[in-house]
Structures are given as C-alpha cells and as structure tokens.
Amino acid sequence: MAIFYPTIEKIKQFKVQPTDGERTLLNFLERTLDDSFEVYFNPFLNGDRPDVLIMRKSYGVMVIEVKDWNLDNFQLNEKRKWVYIPNNSVVKSPIDQVLKYKNNLFDLHVKELLQAKIRDFRNFNIVSCVVYFHCACKSYLEKMLVTPYKDDKKYQTFLKYNIDFLGQDSLNQEDFNALLKKRYLVAERPSWFFTDNLYDNFKRLLSPPLHLRSQGETYNYSDKQKDIIYGEWKNGHREVRLEQRVKGVFGSGKTTVLAARAVQAYKRALERNNNPRVLILTFNITLKNFIHDKMNRVDETFPIENFIIINYHQFINAELNNLNIEFEVPEGLDPEHISEYLESKYYGNIKLFDEHKNEISKYDAVLIDEIQDYHRAWMDIVKNYFRDPLGDYVLFGDVKQNIYGQTTQNKDVVTNVRGVNELKYCYRSDFKVRDLAQSFQKNVFGEKYDVDDFSENRSYSFSFLGQEQEKEGYINYMYLQDKNPVTALYNIIRGNILNKNSNISPNDITILGYTTNLLRTFDLYYRYASRERTNSMLETVEVMYMTHLNYIGKNSDNNPNAGWFNSICEHFKKKLFPNRQKLYDNDITKVRQHVAKLFSIYDLSTTFTNTFEQRLDEECQKCGITLEAFKAFIKHYSEILSQFKQEVYTDNYKNIRDNKKLHFWMNSGTLKVSTINSFKGWESEVVFLILEPKYETSTTFNLSFDELLYTGLTRCRRNLVVINFGNQEYDAKIRPLIERLK
C-alpha cells in the first residue's frame, strides 16, 4: 500500500473532510499503489494547496486536481475559458489551476528544480498534471475537452505533453497504470532526471521534519520583547494582546520577536484546533529563509510545515488559484499600467473574495512583517478574509524603511490595528552605523519621521542572541567619477579581501546597489576575474543564455539559431565527444552549457579586453577551438548572433530572479550581490553600498530613494563602505554625515 501523508486515519479526523471525489480517489490510490509511492493529500506548499500529489522516488511526481463539478453546468467559450452557465461567470480552468501548481513547484517551491529545467528543458517532465472529474466519465470528457478541438494541432500538442484527464470510470487498475506509464512514474528503469537530490528537496518541502526544542537556542530577550512574545504581566499572569502593532528601530530584533511570537501563537491555537496553521506575510520575498532561520532558533517543539511564510502578492496569487478565481490581464493593456490594473482588480480589491468567503480556510494566526510596505487595503483583505477572529494578528515594521512611499499619518504608517509597541534598542550595528543612521534621519528625513534615540545604545560592546561585537567598525566614503565603475568596484572589494590585516572573509561581504544591470555585470566580472563563486539574488548572464539556448537543438530547422548552433556543435564535437558519431540529447545539453559560458566571457572581453582575453582563450581551449576560430565564428554569424544576444539581454527573468531570492541564504561562504530592495530585512558584517549617478523611479514601484538608501546603510553590522559613482545629489547629503564621524 502507498505511504500516505497524512495517514488515512488522520485524514478521517480532519475538521474539514475530503469531498466525495477526493475520498474516492484516495481510496482508489490506497488499493492500487504499492509502498514505493508516496501520496500527499492537500499539502500546504507555502500558499499552494493541490488536492493530491503522488511522488515516486527515482521516477517522478504527479499533481492531481479533483473536481466534483457537474460538467453540465459548464461550457468552454471561444477562447476555451470555462464558463459557469447558471450565472454566466468565468471561472479558472482546472487545467490552468493544476498547471499553476506545477509551475510554482519549479519557479518557487522546490530548490534546484528551476535550475534543472534551465539546464535541460526535459526536466520539466519530472512533474506531470492530471485533472480528475468525479462526476463525469471518460467519454464525456473526450467529447467536451478534446474532440471539438481535434483540428487545433497546437492545442492537441499541448494536451499530449501537459495534461491528462480522469473520469470516475478511469479509476481502474488498467487505465491508471497506463497513465503512470505514460508519465514515467512506472517504467523499466529509473529516470535520469528525477535525481536523489531533487527527490530530497521535494521531500523537505512536502514533509519537513519536526522542529525540536533541543534544536533551538536560549535567547536572553529583553522585557519589552517578552511582553510582545508571551504577553504583558497583569495581575500575576501574562495577558496576550491578540491584535497589536510592533514598531522597531533597525536591528531591534523585530524578526526574531516575530518568529518567537508565531510559535507562541501556534501553541495557543492548539487549544482550538488540533492542526492549526500560522500565516507569516512579508513584502520582500527574500525574507522567507531569514524568517525560517529565526524560527529554527526558537527553543520550542513545533511542526515547521504548519507555518506558511510568503510575500503578499504570491499569497494572493496562490489563493486565487486555490479558489478557482480567474486571473488575467486584458489584451493590449499598456505595460506601464499593468501594475495599476492588477492592484485595482486583485491585490487591492477589498471585495475580491466576497463570493468565496465560505470556501476560505482561515489561518489560526496571522503575522505581517515589513508592514510599512503594505497598503491599508492589503491589511484589510488579509484580516477580514484569512484570519480566524480568535487568532493573533500582529504587525511588525519600521516606517523609516518605507521605500515604496506608502501613505503615512502623524509620521507613521496607517494600519488597521490601534496602538503601538516600540522596540528602541538596536542590537545589530556598531555605534558608528547607529550614529550615521541618526544623522541621516535628522538631516535627510528632516521632519518627515520621528528621530530614533539611540542614547541607551551608546556602547559598541554588547552581546545579543549570540552576536558578539567587541571591535569598533569603520565607515568609509568614496566619490569616484570612473568611466568604468565595475572595474573600480572590483579593485576596491578585492583589495579589502586580499588585505591580510583586514581579516575580512568574502562570506561577510555584501554588495548592495540599485540597478540590476550594474550588479549583474559586476557579478559576472567578479567571478571570472577572481575565479571565485558568488551568491547573487539576480539571474546570472550564463543562466540568461541557457534559458534561450534550451530550446535550440541540433538540426532544429524551425529555429533561426539552429545554423550557428549546428556549426558550434561540430566545432566542439572532437574535443568534448571524441568517440561520438552523432550527438545525443545529453551531449547537446553540455554543448549549451559551454556555449553559455563562452558567450558570457566573450561579452566581458568585448568591454574589458585586457582583463578577459586570456580567460576567453582558456575556455576556448577546453572546447577544442582556438580563440581565433571562435572570433571568426562570431564574425561569420554576427547578424543572427547580434539579434540572439539582444533577445537574451532584454528578456524578462522575473521567475528566475524570484526563485533565487526565495532560496537565498547568507551563510554560503561567498560574496553576496543584491539590490537594496531585495536585501531589506537582512544584515551583513561588511556592506559596500553603491550610489549610482542617477536614480529613476520604475514603472512598477514608486521608490522613495531617501528611504531606500537609509535601508541600505542600516543593513550593515560593523563595516560600511559607501561608493558614490558621480551622484552629486547624494554626495551633498551623505558625505558631510560620514565626515563628521571620523
């Protein structure tokens, strides 16, 4: 019998019982599958809640969406949108719903799964998708979803490779076994693609281990922090304020307190629910791992899988998908107005879930970090629709990190909670960083916000949460009008790392800037000049190339780039595959990887010839081609390659970037590279803060640059180097503040 998570016995005890269709499918799987299969019912995948997920080690994963719908009440319109006939409303297609779960497994949830897909697009087949219609038979599904579109080759190809349908009469051993064979969950030999490492990553997501008290750390919380975590002392016992706002200066332990409060909220919720869920919302998606780390340090026993940590927009997207609410952007909408439309239609629409409020599974506690980045409407949506009224609702934030220009009132953000608890003690930074932060507040913010008082925090020698700070740090300021900031930045940073007297490890250094182009170029330059790895929250240039190379195959006549790709395959063949008469799929994948690396180094060499000419020559030799021959190849295909590179550098890599942010971790042993926005909430021993010549507001966010730079300055624990590449406005603002500290 298959291994069920949770067990069939526990499922029977659920407060909300499975639907008839879910129960029928589970019973069938229990009878049919052996113990090499794992069956997960309603797993909480950080916001996503697929009905059933089947996994078999070394073979693959199948996601099944179950619908108890009477299909007589539905029809497909001319755009194949699902229409509910009684009220003529469009609902989300079950096909789109289950494919969304699959895409999110790659883009968001499973570590290294997206990277595997980028290396070889065939890895996308690791996960297959099925919709089970409990109230329909196979012939009805064929008649409704397949036959009317038999002449649409594109749609038929889509069905063949992406989706399967099950009717109630499909739940027999013969048909289901055929489906498992079709999607390679049953095969003569294990899959080359579903590696043990990927399986382990799936396993950690689907069934994380119980966090034990012995794994935590004993913290010496301040009295104020204890009041927030455990409740305030009144009449000899602690009384918990379920609703409260926590305002804290930078480095005051807000996230540490949030993690501890979340665990206490879970423990209290156990009195009302035997399987409570706690929702922790952020704005910055990179904070997921940071909060996880803080929770792992809490000295309590609790199931980590019961805590959902997600940013607001991903949360709303997940709930829309869970509830079958259609999410679409009108065709022809100006890209500059898409964000405005989405805010009005979805993210800021306080009536969005009105028709589905009885279908929503409420959370037993809700905690929101970075509340200064939230619209008031977002808070109301979360509080009104997703929080159990008997559960905790706690907001954390620092108004001075209001980098997106949210509405303020009386020098503070506007929330839906009365009263404020304040954390005024900074545990993070050296006294010079605190002094700089205070001067910045007085001289740059002016009367916009109240100035933090660090008078109780004057000593730079203290210990908190295992952090010892006994050595005075430093703050440096450089104003450079260098035509090539990347080279200057590299020389400054490498000089600090290689200076034996500085005793600075790359692991302790973070580079913060504003534009992704500069940071991405620096990351590429640093890796090939130093021959060291980095930990970047951005897509690398090699990954950008691989994304576009992935669908270019040898002899693929329908691809305009096939000609030059075939040529380079022949060039590489003798060296990389000396015994091959022809190149196989795995060989082609290796060629793509080499091409991505060569093109990346070539791009560096065109700008920094003296630095990277030799490095390019080395890579050419590894591929069995001379540098001269490679340059001749580039020249011969210059026109088509120029177009190809244009596509590479102008494409949108948001899914890759979000994936890197979600799986970002500080203790990588390498240099970190990030935008200030993405690093908000994190901290680093050494920060190099880059000021670029000009800041321009994006079409996506209305950035407040004073707040943005304040946030960057306060990410530093001890050593701060501000490097200004010709920004006169902020030279006038920051230089005097730093000079006063020397």
| pLDDT tens by residue, 481-491 | 877 899 999 99
Arithmetic mean of pLDDT, 160-188:
96
Tokens 């997921």, residue?
288
Query: Side chain identity at 194, as an amino acid letter?
Result: F
pLDDT of residue 500: 61
| pLDDT tens by residue, 38-80 | 999 999 999 999 999 999 999 999 999 999 999 999 999 988 9
- What are the start-end ranges of the H helices in 531-626? 541-549, 562-576, 585-607, 609-622
Residue 157 confidence class, pLDDT cut points 50, 70, 90: very high
Is the predicted pLDDT of residue 292 greater than 90, yes or no?
yes
Is the predicted pLDDT of residue 629 greater than 70, yes or no?
yes
Question: What proportion of the chain, given as a percentage, has pLDDT over 90?
Answer: 79
**Max CA-CA distance within the chain?**
85
Q: Please say whether the beta carbons of 662 and 108 come within 8 A.
A: yes
pLDDT of residue 467: 44
Q: How far apart are CA 742 and CA 740, in angstroms?
A: 6
Arithmetic mean of pLDDT, 454-474:
53
Q: What is the mean pLDDT of the chain?
A: 92
pLDDT of residue 463: 40
Under the phi-then-psi rule, with left for phi > 0, alpha for psi from -120 to 50, and beta for the rest, what region is 455? alpha
670: tokens are: 């390498």
Of residues 583 and 41, more confidently modeled: 41
Poorest-confidence range of 19-28, 100-109, 495-504, 673-682?
A: 495-504
- Comparing C-alpha atoms, which of 579, 574, 545, 581 is closest to residue 561? 545
Tokens 């883009």, residue?
107
Q: What is the 3-state secondary structure (H, E, C) of 447-501?
A: CCCCCCCCHHHCCCCEEECCEEECCCCCEEEEECCCCCHHHHHHHHHHHHHHCCC
Indicate the DSSP class of residue 19: P
Q: How far apart are CA 231 and CA 295, in angstroms?
A: 19
Q: How far apart are CA 735 and CA 581, in angstroms?
A: 65
Is the predicted pLDDT of residue 471 greater than 80, yes or no?
no
- Comparing C-alpha atoms, which of 347, 355, 379 is closest to residue 366? 379
H helix count then E strand count, the chain: 27, 29
Poorest-confidence range of 408-412, 446-450, 454-458, 733-737?
A: 454-458
Query: Side chain identity at 650, as an amino acid letter?
Result: T
> Cβ neighbours of residue 236 under 8 Å, at least 6 residues apart?
none
Of residues 502 and 45, more confidently modeled: 45
Please tell me the pTM assigned to this model: 0.92
Q: How far apart are CA 352 and CA 454, in angstroms?
A: 43
| pLDDT tens by residue, 258-279 | 999 999 999 999 999 888 999 9
Is the predicted pLDDT of residue 470 greater than 50, yes or no?
no
Arithmetic mean of pLDDT, 23-36:
97
Is the predicted pLDDT of residue 700 greater than 70, yes or no?
no
| pLDDT tens by residue, 591-619 | 999 999 999 999 999 999 889 999 999 99
> Cβ neighbours of residue 268 under 8 Å, at least 6 residues apart?
240, 365, 392
Poorest-confidence range of 128-132, 228-232, 468-472?
A: 468-472
pLDDT of residue 67: 98
Calculate the alpha carbon distances from 570 to 549, 580, 594 in Å. Answer: 16, 11, 13
Residue 189 C-beta-side C-alpha neighbours within 13 Å: 2
Cα-based angle 520, 525, 529 (whole degrees, multiple of 5): 155
432: tokens are: 């010079």
Q: How far apart are CA 522 and CA 486, in angstroms?
A: 5
Q: How far apart are CA 443 and CA 688, in angstroms?
A: 22
Is the predicted pLDDT of residue 678 greater than 70, yes or no?
yes
pLDDT of residue 497: 83
| pLDDT tens by residue, 395-450 | 999 999 988 878 788 788 899 999 899 999 998 888 899 999 999 999 999 989 99
